[in-house]
């Protein structure tokens, strides 16, 4: 079977399929690239009832288990721990603890039946459920000073750096989420907080651009203009110069400095946002 003709070749639908592309995006590819390369965790499915359900079920289970334990366990009086510890039996290393066999004069020790005589000191008092048992005394032996043991290697050497990276990405993602939801004031504060907390962070460049965008969109054109000037002088941000110029032009329009804005845009490629700035300047004139 031959390939059927595509719908976009239909004269009635051609325009609609061309316009379909206009409804895509926009997306912040640079920020997404940073997230992908940094390996930041993918947000979970926004499933509303899932967590409350899990919390409810686990809470109910815990309550039922508690009630069941309370009903099953004997409710005898709680014996407080003895204030003075009786003389403890001295156990030698290697001595079997169970069964406790005590040598009593006159009684055949080979008899498997426990003697009727009360056992002397080494008898261990039976432990009652629900009571607090005094800690078993330890024979104090003078031992030479032992040096501190070396830390055990669990193969978790990367724990601290990973935790740092995780914390940094969480800070950045909080700012990014606010910006994505157009909560510009919050985004501005979160980007500033990220830059303050992580002055040499891995996403510093992206955060600075994010802060600039948030300043422009949260009606702080003066601060945005000065930040843009500073960023344009930073050689590390040379490859993002066009984005910075565009944001600076938008800030200059807000400051009623359209001539400066148009001059800034001379080196910027034509795009919808550039046209928007030009149109805004035309309207102001």
Partner 1 sequence: MTNVVPFPTPPRQAEELDLGALFDAHGAWLLRVTERLCGRRDLAEDLVQEIFLVAWKRRHEIEDMQGIRTWLYRVAVNVVRHRHRSENRYGNVLARFKHLLWGTTSGADVSLERYQRGQQVHDIIAKLSPKQREVFVLYELEELEGAEIAAILDISVNTVWSRLRLARAAFKTHWEEVSP
Q: Are 124 and 134 in contact (CB under 8 A)?
A: no
Q: Whose Cβ is closer to partner 1: residue 204's or residue 273's? A: 273
Q: Are 215 and 185 in contact (CB under 8 A)?
A: no
Q: Whose Cβ is closer to partner 1: residue 157's or residue 270's? A: 270
Q: Whose Cβ is closer to partner 1: residue 129's or residue 272's? A: 272
DSSP 284: H
Q: Whose Cβ is closer to partner 1: residue 227's or residue 251's? A: 251
Q: Are 180 and 215 in contact (CB under 8 A)?
A: no
With a CB cutoff of 8 Å and minimum separation 6, the contacts of 265 are 245, 246, 249, 274, 277, 278
CA angle 125, 128, 129 (to 5 degrees): 150
Q: Which residues bind partner 1 (CB under 8 A)?
A: 1, 3-4, 6-8, 13, 15-17, 19-29, 32-33, 35-37, 39-40, 42-43, 45-50, 180, 272-273, 275-276, 279
Q: How far is the CB of 269 from partner 1 (least distance, A)?
A: 14
Q: How many other C-beta atoms can be found within 10 angstroms of the C-beta atom of residue 115?
A: 15
Q: How far is the CB of 173 from partner 1 (least distance, A)?
A: 11
Q: How far is the CB of 272 from partner 1 (least distance, A)?
A: 3
Q: How far is the CB of 14 from partner 1 (least distance, A)?
A: 11
H or E, element range at 246: helix 241-254
Report CA Rg, the chain.
37
Q: How far is the CB of 19 from partner 1 (least distance, A)?
A: 4
Q: Whose Cβ is closer to partner 1: residue 227's or residue 252's? A: 252
């Amino acid at each position: 079977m031959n390939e059927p003709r595509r719908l976009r070749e239909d004269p009635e639908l051609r325009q609609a399929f061309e316009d379909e592309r206009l409804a895509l995006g926009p997306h912040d590819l640079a920020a997404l690239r940073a997230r992908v390369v940094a390996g930041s965790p993918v947000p979970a499915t926004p499933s509303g009832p899932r967590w409350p359900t899990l919390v409810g079920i686990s809470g109910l289970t815990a309550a039922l288990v508690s009630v069941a334990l309370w009903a099953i366990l004997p409710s005898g009086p709680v014996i407080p721990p003895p204030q003075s510890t009786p003389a403890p039996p001295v156990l030698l290393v290697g001595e079997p603890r169970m069964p406790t066999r005590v040598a009593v004069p006159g009684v055949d020790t080979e008899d498997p039946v426990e003697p009727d005589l009360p056992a002397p000191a080494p008898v261990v008092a039976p432990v009652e459920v629900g009571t607090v048992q005094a800690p078993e005394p330890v024979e104090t032996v003078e031992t030479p000073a032992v040096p501190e043991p070396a830390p055990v290697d669990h193969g978790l050497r990367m724990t601290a750096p990973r935790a740092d990276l995780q914390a940094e990405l969480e800070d950045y993602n909080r700012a990014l989420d606010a910006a994505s939801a157009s909560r510009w004031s919050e985004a501005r504060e979160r980007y500033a907080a990220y830059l303050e907390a992580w002055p040499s962070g891995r996403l510093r460049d992206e955060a600075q651009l994010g802060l600039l965008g948030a300043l422009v969109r949260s009606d702080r054109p003066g601060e945005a203009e000065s930040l843009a000037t500073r960023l344009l002088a930073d050689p590390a941000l040379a490859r993002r110069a066009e984005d910075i110029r565009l944001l600076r032009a938008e800030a200059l329009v807000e400051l009623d400095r359209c001539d400066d804005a148009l001059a800034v845009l001379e080196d910027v490629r034509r795009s919808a946002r550039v046209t928007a700035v030009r149109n805004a300047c035309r309207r102001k004139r």
